[in-house]
Amino acid sequence: MATENASQATPELSEVSLPNLRFLEEVSTATAGISRLEMCIQCGTCGGSCPSAADMDHTPRLLFAMIRAGLRDEVLSSNTPWICVSCYHCFVRCPQDVHIPDVMYTLKSMAIRAKRYKDATAPDFSATFVDMVESYGRSFEFGLATRHYLKHFPLRLPSMAPMGLGLISRRRMEITPSRIEGINQLKVILQYAKELELVQ
């Protein structure tokens, strides 16, 4: 009888609160190369190494714990991936060689697709930059800055004009875009990359 009561008091494995590995696997699979995200030991070295950590609503360590816990909406709504400046300092110092900046790129891409970001400024800038690269094979700074500031910060444009004119007059920035040679080959590569992303 005691044995029977003990077995009833012990919850089934399915009832135990276990980490939701589905989201972890989804992020790992979507990350280029091998993310090693599952190897995170929650040491906090990444946040301690990050020059932008003070502006993040979640440290990378906490964000990875949230991924493990399956908190998809909270992770994709976080500003942390957008604040990451891709300096790779966290990756260099990570004792587990977790590819943290690559994971941040993945989370940004997932947030854009799911429309879970809080502020459209960074996703719009990212989309404009990608559009320029797909069209010309390189960044077109004048077009990128103009489009971005017209959409998000139109009142700042007059104060930016002297710097822009200075860059143009010193030939540090072109006023018209130029395409790279072999743009069609680049488009084939980018299309193939998009097809691979859809397969995953």
- Residue entry with tokens 């097809």: 195
Measured from the Cβ of residue 45, the count of other Cβ atoms closer than 10 Å reads: 20
Long-range interactions of 189-196: CB distance < 8 A, separation 24+: 190/134
> What's the rounded Cα separation, in Å, for the pair 81 and 102?
10
Q: State which amino acid sits at residue 56.
A: M
End-to-end CA distance of the chain: 51
pLDDT given at position 18:
56
Q: CA distances (Å), 62 to each of 40, 47, 59, in order?
A: 11, 9, 5
Q: Cβ–Cβ contacts within 10 Å for residue 188, how many?
A: 11
- pLDDT for position 200: 55
Q: How many helices (H) and strands (E) does the chain have?
A: 12, 0
Stretch(es) of the chain classified as CATH 1.10.1060.10: 17-117
User: Taking the model in full, what pTM does it have?
Assistant: 0.70
CATH code for the part of the protein at 17-117:
1.10.1060.10
pLDDT for res 20: 61
Split the chain (200 residues) into runs of 10 and give each run's mean pLDDT. Answer: 47 50 90 92 94 93 95 93 93 96 94 87 87 92 91 90 91 91 92 74
134: nearest Cα among 200, 188, 196: 188
CB-side neighbour CA atoms (13 Å) of 32? 8
45 alpha carbon, distance to own chain's centre:
19
In one letter, which amino acid is 179? Answer: R
Residue with tokens 């942390």: 80
